[in-house]
A and B are shown apart, each in its own frame.
Chain A
Amino acid sequence: MKRIIAVMLTGIMTLSLAACSSAGSAASAGGGASSGGDVIRIGVFEPSTGDSASGGKKEILGMQYANSETPTVEAGGKTYKVELVYADNGSSADKAPSAASELVGKDVSLVLGSYGSGVSMAGGPKFEEAGLAAIGVTCTNPNVTAGNDYYFRICFLDNFQADVLANFAIEKFSAKKAYCLGENGNEYDQGLVAFFTQVFEAAGGEVISDSFPTNNSDFTSYLNKAKSEGADVIFTPVSIAYAKQIMEQAASLDIGIPFLGSDTLDDNMVLEATKDTNLQLFVSTFYQEGGSETFDKGIKDYINNNSDALTANGGNDTISAVTAMGYDAYYVALEAIKAAGSGDKAQIKGAIPSVKWDGVSGSIAFDEVGDAVRDTAYIKTADTSTGTWAFEKVQTGSGK
């Protein structure tokens, strides 16, 4: 009897959901059919659950702000309303393809995202198959754009970033010995560590590296090891939650070695962890607050006037670099639409390589692989007394 009820319930659920979803897709299909109308959809392929949710949300924030600032675009003599369509890729490679096809199914004209390279690589083939261009915002792994004609990106790459940080370590601290710590199985961490090691060792330094297992919470052993090995700098290109743990534990251990971090550490939750400690933390990043005053003011107002945005930003109005990147990505997308003259995805794809845009994070242009041409990164340091980021310098790589 119960079984029959179960089957019935399931049936009803299925039917109602199917009805529900087909209604939804019918609506969007209607929109799609009238693409001669006045709406252009931009897909936002970002994680809002899972490990990278925090970064993904901040990136979305930049796009939302840009969208609120410039909600329309003129192309081919017509004014289109720009609509952001979201799909959560769940920070995981197995959810990414369906999130990608969700966007394809909603008939978007191009896609922005994602925070995190793994999901971008997992979603990439879907976009390619659908002939849909994607602009990566902060996915820094070389393999995102390599071998995929439809993936572009506006950020620098892992090897560049590692290069910059290794040079910074040598120039600023005359470092001879570096301790690298990354998450086991995370391509972002391990890629940066590998590139950092190449550059640092080429410059005559010594590198000791360790990996910690996923969901690790005790970092004191690693930090003590770095200390006992006499490392001059500690390089931790890890995701936000781990970075936070590492900072907290380093503070209680009185480690006294400067930390170098990659763009992921440019996050106010990490910053918070360094407040009122004697930690030295330097991160390389895409954008430094103060780079564009109008943008800074605008986005702070936007964040402070919108409780959801404030939550997404971790409860304060410190601007993350990824937010600025999201902002720039939106405008690059608009430029591409303008250049294409319509919302047609094939034309947009064709237009992107020639797009040039002076964004808040610097000027953006694409090379033949689809990567942004960038040769500088910002280094900033955590001001532990005020709990803010302080600009350190503009750093170039070793030129390799």
Chain B
Amino acid sequence: MEYAISVLLSGISVGGQYALIAIGYTLVYGILRLINFAHGDVFMVAGLMGIYFTAVLPISLSLPLVIILTVLLGFTIERVAYKPLRDAPRMSVMISAIGVSYLLQNTATYVTGGQPMTYPTIPFLSGTVNVAGTQTKWVVILTPILVLTLVVLLSLLINRTKVGMAMRAVSKDFETSRLMGIRINSVISVTFIIGSALAAVGSVLFFTNYPAITPMAGAMPGLKAFVAAVFGGIGSIPGAVIGAFIIGICETIIKGLPSSWDVSVFSDAFTFALLILILVFKPQGLFGEAATDKV
């Protein structure tokens, strides 16, 4: 029982962190129909910035700075690497995204010298707490709460504000929105800003829990978050969050299965198998809307 709770706790915590990244994916995909491969790496860079800033600045100052700079990074990436390709085929944009991801990873290798970096201990978040006989960090408990709060806030933003309305319009019909005078570029920028800010917050939570950062640290969580976004129905924020939690929990359950079965190695493979299954049988995901092509 204690063991089951500990597995569930890990699952919720992992899922929560995927959720924060997945929201960024789902927002961007919903609007640009672009798999932003670089998103996971933005998350990794946010983690690295966290390390470098806390080394010289107090935490209360450095964390906001990390968020601001990550937002700036996300914004810049969009402006430099995606905007010029707005009318290019989708494949080009995706290649550009892969290129950005490659660049961020290589730059991180250069800066860190390839060494795994240690994320600083953040007071309170890193503190431990005992849940039903299992010791865990506070961050594990706080992540899901924070995620849910953010989902509510984001839903409000999207459903109640002017920017949110524009975002919905753009994701429904890009061309028409443009004709209707919606400033597409600012809507897209806002999307990237929100996504990056969430990635920054996600990085704080994730790396407090798993404190070693390597240049590849963002790739896997990034891909899984994308799978979560697809699973939940791309474009749907609650979908992405639920997808992320399902994937996180499934993953830890697989890891936690008896060793004699020797299946724990497939925790990542499972995620991808799930992706293929969902794409084949329910391509619109759990909460997405089916789209028809115009001839």
Interface residues of A (CB under 8 A from B): 47-51, 53-54, 57, 179, 184, 208-218, 220-222, 224-225, 227-229, 240-242, 244-245, 248-249, 252-254, 269, 272-273, 311-312, 314
Nearest CB to that of A240 among chain B residues?
Answer: B116
Nearest CB to that of B213 among chain A residues?
Answer: A241
Which of B214, B219, B220, B267 interacts with A241 by CB under 8 Å? B214
Residues on B with C-beta less than 8 A from A53 are 109, 113-115
Residues on B with C-beta less than 8 A from A249 are 209-210
B107-126 toward A: CB 8 Å interface, digit per residue (1/0)? 00100011110100000001
Q: Is the CB of B10 within 8 A of A215?
A: no
Q: Is the CB of B109 within 8 A of A49?
A: yes
Q: A210-B259, A225-B255, A253-B134 are in contact. List 5 more A-B contacts (CB 8 A).
A: A208-B259, A217-B206, A217-B212, A220-B252, A244-B212
- What's the Cα separation between A245 and B118 when bound, in Å? 9
Q: Is the CB of A212 within 8 A of B135?
A: no
Q: Which of B1-9, B95-103, B156-164, B276-284 contacts A (4 or more CB under 8 A)?
A: B1-9
Residues on A with C-beta less than 8 A from B56 are none
Residues on B with C-beta less than 8 A from A47 are 114
Residues on B with C-beta less than 8 A from A254 are 128, 135
Residues on A with C-beta less than 8 A from B268 are 213-214, 216
Q: Is the CB of A211 within 8 A of B10?
A: no
Number of A-B contacts (CB under 8 A): 123
- Of A48, A54, A221, A245, most B-chain CB atoms within 10 Å: A221
Q: Is the CB of B118 within 8 A of A244?
A: yes
- Are A215 and B128 also in contact (CB < 8 A) when A224-B7, A224-B10, A228-B3 are? no
Interface residues of B (CB under 8 A from A): 2-3, 6-7, 9-10, 13-14, 109, 113-116, 118, 126, 128, 134-137, 206, 209-212, 214, 216-217, 219-221, 251-252, 255-256, 259-260, 262, 264-269
Q: Is the CB of A218 within 8 A of B264?
A: no
- Whole-angstrom distance between the Cβ of B143 and the nearest chain A Cβ: 12
- What's the Cα separation between A241 and B13 when bound, in Å? 21
Q: Is the CB of A311 within 8 A of B113?
A: yes
Which of B6, B13, B216 interacts with A224 by CB under 8 Å? B6
- Whole-angstrom distance between the Cβ of B115 and the nearest chain A Cβ: 5
Which of A184, A225, A240, A311 interacts with B3 by CB under 8 Å? A225
- What's the Cα separation between A51 and B217 when bound, in Å? 11
Q: Is the CB of A48 within 8 A of B114?
A: yes
Residues on A with C-beta less than 8 A from B264 are 210-212, 222
Q: Is the CB of A269 within 8 A of B256?
A: no
Q: Is the CB of A273 within 8 A of B118?
A: yes
- What's the Cα separation between A213 and B134 when bound, in Å? 25
- Of A179, A215, A217, A229, most B-chain CB atoms within 10 Å: A217
Nearest CB to that of B248 among chain A residues?
Answer: A218
- Pairs of residues from A and B, 8 with the lowest C-beta to C-beta distance, nearest first: A53-B114, A241-B116, A228-B3, A221-B255, A217-B210, A224-B6, A213-B268, A184-B265
- Whole-angstrom distance between the Cβ of B88 and the nearest chain A Cβ: 13
Q: Is the CB of B210 within 8 A of A312?
A: no
- Whole-angstrom distance between the Cβ of A295 and the nearest chain B Cβ: 24
Q: Is the CB of A211 within 8 A of B255?
A: no
Residues on A with C-beta less than 8 A from B265 are 184, 211-213
Q: Is the CB of B256 within 8 A of A221?
A: yes
- What's the Cα separation between A259 and B190 when bound, in Å? 48
